[in-house]
Amino acid sequence: MSVDLRGWIRDVPDHPKPGIQFKDLTPIFAEPAAFRAAINWFDDQVLKRDPDVIAAIDARGFVFASPVADRLGIPLALVRKSGKLPPPVIRNQYSLEYEDLSAIEMRSDALSKGQRIVIIDDLLATGGTAVAAAELAEELGTYVVAQIFLVELAYLDGRERITNRDPDCEVVAHIVYD
């Protein structure tokens, strides 16, 4: 049975602030067939890239990446909001589309030099978090082969931000809003 995941995404106007059209993916989590379809899609995308490690971005990236890592037997590294991981950590500050400044962290022992990783998150908007996560991974000596998202808001140019920084990093999205 094929599931149209776009039909499970809800638009929430003016959230978290006026002028933002928020894409709510929580209905996908609430419907087992939709969630399974999303995980199956992520499985296929990760398998095609043959990574050593999956890095997941806090918090909804965890929801998608955890079952994929389990199913495929690939280690999972977490990229979390600042202050949530025990030391030792490395940190990166960056700007978001609706916040002035944010920071993410990764344990400094989460990845090993030379590993090929894919980064998974739910949604690509301006690419600030995605680029910050890639910078953390690369600081640890890894090679980011792909960033994989369920949804991309193409009109915010996040893909370009990622590929302008690293032309070799593949950007993959299942659902693209132009």
- Among candidate residues 10, 97, 99, 160, the one labeled active-site is 97
Q: Which residues pair with 151 in a beta bridge?
A: 123, 175
80: annotated active-site residue = no
- Among candidate residues 10, 31, 36, 60, the one labeled active-site is 60
160: annotated active-site residue = no
126 φ, ψ to 5°?
-80, -15
Name 164's Cβ contacts closer than 8 Å, sequence gap at least 6.
Answer: none
Report the catalytic residues: 60, 97
